[in-house]
Amino acid sequence: MSVRVRFAPSPTGFLHIGSVRTALFNWLYARHTGGTFVLRIEDTDVARNTDQSLRTILDGLRWLGLDWDEGPEKGGMYGPYFQSQRADVYQRHIQELKDKGLAYERDGAVRFRMTRQPVEVPDLIAGRVTRPLNEAETLDPDFVIVRSDGNPVFHLVNVVDDMEMNITHVIRGEDHLSNTSKHIALFRAFGVEPPQYAHIPMILNPDGTKMSKSDPDAAKARLASLQTYVEDGFVPEAVRNYLCLLGWSPKDNREIMPIHDVVELFDLPQILRNNARFDVSKLTWMNGEYIRAMSLERFLELARPFTGGHDDPKVLGLVKEKLKLLRELPSWTDYFFRDDYAFDPVAVKKSCSAPQTSERLAKLADKFAAVNPWDAAHLEPALKTLAGELGVKTGDLIHPCRVAVSGKSAGPSLYHMLEVLGRDRVLARLRRGAEKFRS
RNA sequence: GGCCCCAUCGUCUAGAGGCCUAGGACAUCAGAUUCUCAAUCUGGGUACACGGGUUCGAAUCCCGUUGGGGCCGCCA
């Protein structure tokens, strides 16, 4: 039988990074097995659902390249894929349980007559887990499956849909492990064999606490939302790759690896059983690696939202290898697009405080005025010639020059930077610097 | 509190009884290189939570302790 897995988020707020990892693992398993990846929207909590949130989920999955085979905007034979549109399906199953004497009403809600026996949960990752009933459950293990307002609850709709949609493997967060006995009991009540379960460990904050989108600590709350990484200029390839490595490993010391290699190697039993903490610094490193390695075309495409409209390919190409985050883009390129860029005081003090600075910049301007053609290959010998004539180290010209034309001590290769800046701007800025740094 | 899951460098991990005086990566420190920064290269420090077993031999198996996480809703 062909594998069918599903990602079943609720459209309430931002997309949680842990949910994203769950979606990723489902997608990987589907692609690894040649199975089907279903996206199902669990929007039974009418009060909390928003269209905006639905968009966030769909956009987030697409951003990461996690395409679904059945679901919203895609269709499929098992639809509809919104639980809000499946009321009749649930109604039928609730009636079935009532007819079998396995559901009854109390206080206006419908309750499921839970088995009084401990339920063994076979889990592909955790192994066999038997969860005995706790004290309260021993007294009354039954639980609500339809609220008094008539809406069925998560446990019921989740099981009914997994059943109706022929889901073969339920890959979800470990926070559901304790509930699984309820789900298995429900499957049995319907006379259906439960799917295989694989509960994946949680992703935690750097301090080991649970990642929550509503954490009172704003910095931690930011960490929990996928949107944060999009806004900060992480690239999807890097986020996806990093997430693959949280709870899974190719076991051959590779870390940066193409997604199709992960798809090939990925399997459920090899998923780790322990929680992982989210390490932004490693993700940031990986992001820089991906940015440096990607094509200029891809870079231009991903950089567009961060350029503020200044997307000259020559400029962006120059700083591509410098970046760790796309969000840093403006601070690397501002002087290409404006003449009133700021001068870093530390850089000025370090490179432009020598008394000869002014004279050197002026002479450099004169020397560059004669360079033809204006390109890196001709600028370099011109500068070196002048250094020889003045009897100074090239650095004594290079550093002041860099500060004069960009305001910074750090940037791309000087000669390529000058080439892209163009003769007019470079000469003007050098002469302006000669005035500015006159001591 | 009850029940469940888990436990290797600061972090992510490799390790399925001898290959481990524990390997890789990020981070960090030192050095090299460079026109700056980044990158790159070289090197350093840092871990098997603790206590009992089992075994000729344990990071690897068992038990306990401690610690972390999860679940105990008419949320999902």
Among residues A98, A100, A182, A213, the one annotated as catalytic is A213
Question: What's the pLDDT band for A134 if we cut at 50, 70, 90?
Answer: low
Question: What's the pLDDT band for A354 if we cut at 50, 70, 90?
Answer: confident
Q: For every residue of chain A, which 3-state class applies, written as one string?
A: CCCEEEECCCCCCCCEHHHHHHHHHHHHHHHHHCCEEEECECCCCCCCCCHHHHHHHHHHHHHCCCCCCEECCCECCCCCCEHHHCHHHHHHHHHHHHHCCCEEEECCEEEECCCCCCEEEEECCCEEEEECCCHHHHHCCCEEEECCCCCECHHHHHHHHHHHCCCCEEEEEHHHHHHHHHHHHHHHHCCCCCCEEEEECCEECCCCCECCCCCCCHHHHHHCEHHHHHHCCCCHHHHHHHHHCCCCCCCCCCCCCCHHHHHHHCCHHHCCCCCEECCHHHHHHHHHHHHHHCCHHHHHHHHHHHCCCCCCHHHHHHHHHHCCCHHHHHHHHHHHHCCCCCCCHHHHHHHCCCCCHHHHHHHHHHHHHCCCCCCHHHHHHHHHHHHHHHCCCHHHHHHHHHHHHHCCCCCCCHHHHHHHHCHHHHHHHHHHHHHHCCC
Radius of gyration of chain A (CA): 30
Positions of strand B less than 7 angstroms from a protein CB? 1-8, 10-15, 23-27, 35-39, 68-76
Distance A149 CA to B7 C1' (A): 44
Q: Are A46 and A151 in contact (CB under 8 A)?
A: yes
Maximum distance among all Cα pairs of chain A, rounded to whole angstroms: 100
Q: Are A226 and A15 in contact (CB under 8 A)?
A: yes
What distances in angstroms separate CA A213 from CA A9, A96, A222, one per listed residue?
14, 38, 7
Residue A129 has pLDDT above 80, yes or no: no
The span from the CA of A289 to the CA of A282, in Å, is 11
pLDDT digits (tens, 9 = 90+) for A10-27: 998 889 999 999 999 999
Could you tell me how far CA A260 lies from the centroid of its own chain? 18
Question: What's the pLDDT band for A348 if we cut at 50, 70, 90?
Answer: confident
Residue A133 has pLDDT above 60, yes or no: no
- Asked if residue A242 keeps its beta carbon closer than 7 A to nucleic acid strand B, the reply is no
Tokens standing for A141? Answer: 């293990």
Which residues contact residue A164 at a Cβ distance below 8 angstroms, ignoring those fewer than 6 apart? A78, A89
pLDDT attached to residue A41: 95
- Asked if residue A48 keeps its beta carbon closer than 7 A to nucleic acid strand B, the reply is yes
- Asked if residue A331 keeps its beta carbon closer than 7 A to nucleic acid strand B, the reply is no
Strand B neighbours among A 257-296, CB < 7 A: 270, 272-277, 279, 281-282, 284-285, 288, 292
pLDDT digits (tens, 9 = 90+) for A356-405: 888 888 888 888 888 888 988 888 888 888 888 888 888 888 998 999 89
Cα angle A416, A233, A306 (rounded to 5 degrees) comes to: 60
Distance A27 CA to B40 C1' (A): 36
| Residue A285 burial by Cβ neighbours in a 10 Å radius (0-12, 13-18, 19+) | middle
Question: What's the pLDDT band for A347 if we cut at 50, 70, 90?
Answer: confident
Shortest CA distance to A225 belongs to which of A235, A211, A206, A245?
Answer: A211
Range A162-173 average pLDDT: 96
The span from the CA of A99 to the CA of A92, in Å, is 10
Higher pLDDT residue, A376 or A41? A41
- Asked if residue A394 keeps its beta carbon closer than 7 A to nucleic acid strand B, the reply is yes
- The nucleotide whose C1' lies nearest the CA of A121 is B4
- Asked if residue A58 keeps its beta carbon closer than 7 A to nucleic acid strand B, the reply is no
Distance A274 CA to B59 C1' (A): 16
For nucleotide B27, give the residue with the nearest CA to its C1'. Answer: A281
- Asked if residue A214 keeps its beta carbon closer than 7 A to nucleic acid strand B, the reply is no
What distances in angstroms separate CA A315 from CA A233, A335, A395, one per listed residue?
18, 10, 24
- The nucleotide whose C1' lies nearest the CA of A321 is B38
Range A73-98 average pLDDT: 94
The pTM of the full predicted model, rounded to 2 decimals, is 0.92
Which residues contact residue A170 at a Cβ distance below 8 angstroms, ignoring those fewer than 6 apart? A5, A6, A162, A195, A196, A197, A198
- Asked if residue A246 keeps its beta carbon closer than 7 A to nucleic acid strand B, the reply is yes
- Asked if residue A138 keeps its beta carbon closer than 7 A to nucleic acid strand B, the reply is no
pLDDT digits (tens, 9 = 90+) for A283-337: 999 999 999 999 999 999 999 999 888 888 989 999 999 999 999 999 899 899 8
Q: Which of A52-66, A137-151, A178-192, A250-264 has the weakest average pLDDT? A: A137-151
Task: Provide the 10 A C-beta neighbour count for residue A383.
Answer: 20
| Residue A232 burial by Cβ neighbours in a 10 Å radius (0-12, 13-18, 19+) | middle
The span from the CA of A148 to the CA of A77, in Å, is 32
Range A95-121 average pLDDT: 92
Residue A393 designated active-site = no
Type of residue found at A175:
D
What distances in angstroms separate CA A33 from CA A4, A38, A249, A263, A272, one per listed residue?
9, 14, 18, 9, 20
- Asked if residue A23 keeps its beta carbon closer than 7 A to nucleic acid strand B, the reply is no
pLDDT attached to residue A58: 96
Strand B neighbours among A 291-310, CB < 7 A: 292
Question: What's the pLDDT band for A263 if we cut at 50, 70, 90?
Answer: very high
For nucleotide B23, give the residue with the nearest CA to its C1'. Answer: A253
Range A421-435 average pLDDT: 88
pLDDT attached to residue A126: 65
- The nucleotide whose C1' lies nearest the CA of A133 is B3
Strand B neighbours among A 86-125, CB < 7 A: 106-109
What distances in angstroms separate CA A428 from CA A334, A351, A369, one per listed residue?
17, 19, 10
- Asked if residue A134 keeps its beta carbon closer than 7 A to nucleic acid strand B, the reply is yes
Distance A225 CA to B34 C1' (A): 39
Shortest CA distance to A81 belongs to which of A123, A31, A132, A42?
Answer: A42
Range A199-221 average pLDDT: 89
Type of residue found at A116:
R
- Asked if residue A228 keeps its beta carbon closer than 7 A to nucleic acid strand B, the reply is no
Q: Which of A4-18, A342-356, A381-395, A402-416 has the weakest average pLDDT? A: A342-356
Higher pLDDT residue, A238 or A119? A238
- Asked if residue A55 keeps its beta carbon closer than 7 A to nucleic acid strand B, the reply is no
Q: Looking at this predicted complex, what is its ipTM?
A: 0.94
